[in-house]
Amino acid sequence: MSLPHWLEALLPGETAVIWEAVAPLVPAEAYLGGGTAIAVHLRHRPSRDLDFFFHDDTVDLDHLTDRLRAHGTFAVTQRAPGTLNGVFGETRLQFLHAGLARPERRLEPTTLVGGLEIAGLGDLLAMKLNAIAGRAQLRDYFDLMTIERQGGRTIEEGLGLFIARYQPEHEDSAITPILLALGHLDDVGDDPFLPVEREAIVRYWQQRQPELVVAVERYGISRPAPLEPPEHGDNPRSRRREPPARELDW
């Protein structure tokens, strides 16, 4: 199966070739997340890493390693309980058991694109806010800015999605680092591969962060309705259709 042209344009180097190679090997329970999944939704920047997440204890990462090695050059860079990181050809792959260390649940249905399940934009928003609270990069702030500008979702909504996905024991303590990080980019380095200047991203969040603080203090955080779990034996790849192709507009 060949990838649509708009998707190939998003995947630099040999990433498009690797996508096609690993798509039949990725467990049906796994879905693509991270910046590449956001790029699939919004077509806003190239992205080369393929980060997969799953919530099912039955996924066998050792068996997956053997399958990847049988179909190409796959070098494992990290293997831990619930984690498999490696390089397939020249593309970095990650498989992570979401919820192994702490509760974590998927919020929205996935969408099949190019043979891979893609996380919903709401899940990606929650996951990106979680990344912001840790060791954030400029591309994380750019992704969030683009989600607001082009994706029709807001950080106010995203905070509720973050709470729903990660279920922190102390919600205020979990939200505070996110709000602080959104307003402080002094220690975030530049990224020459982004299509906008660093200063434009900084200005955006300098304006938005105070608005977010006021909104949270005034209205609190609303939580989404939980996603109904799929029926036993329901393979998402048999029921999700790919979205119609559209031209890449940068």
Residue 65's domain is classified under what CATH number?
Answer: 3.30.460
- Using CA atoms, how far residue 233 sits from 13, 230, 236, 237, in Å, is 36, 8, 9, 12
Tokens of 141: 């702030």
Answer yes or no: is 4 within a domain.
Answer: no
Do residue 108 and residue 154 come from a single domain?
no
Do residue 158 and residue 113 come from a single domain?
no
Do residue 95 and residue 65 come from a single domain?
yes
Domain boundaries, position 16: 10-119
Do residue 115 and residue 130 come from a single domain?
no
Do residue 106 and residue 134 come from a single domain?
no
* Count of structural domains within the chain: 2
Answer yes or no: is 209 within a domain.
Answer: yes
pLDDT one digit per residue (tens) for the chain, 250 residues: 689 999 999 999 999 999 999 999 999 999 999 999 999 999 999 999 999 999 999 999 999 999 999 999 999 999 999 999 999 999 999 999 999 988 899 999 999 999 999 999 999 999 999 999 988 999 999 999 999 999 999 999 999 999 999 999 999 999 999 999 999 999 999 999 999 999 999 999 999 999 999 999 998 888 776 666 544 345 555 444 444 333 333 3
Do residue 191 and residue 147 come from a single domain?
yes
Answer yes or no: is 232 within a domain.
Answer: no
- DSSP state letters, 22-64: HTTTS-TT-EEEHHHHHHHHH--S----EEEEE--TT--HHHH
Give the pLDDT confidence score for residue 225 in this predicted structure.
Answer: 66
Confidence (pTM): 0.89
Do residue 111 and residue 130 come from a single domain?
no
Answer yes or no: is 54 within a domain.
Answer: yes
Answer yes or no: is 186 within a domain.
Answer: yes
Do residue 113 and residue 14 come from a single domain?
yes
d(CA 123, CA 215): 21
Do residue 143 and residue 195 come from a single domain?
yes
Do residue 131 and residue 220 come from a single domain?
yes
Answer yes or no: is 237 within a domain.
Answer: no
Answer yes or no: is 103 within a domain.
Answer: yes
Do residue 131 and residue 213 come from a single domain?
yes
Do residue 133 and residue 160 come from a single domain?
yes
Answer yes or no: is 238 within a domain.
Answer: no
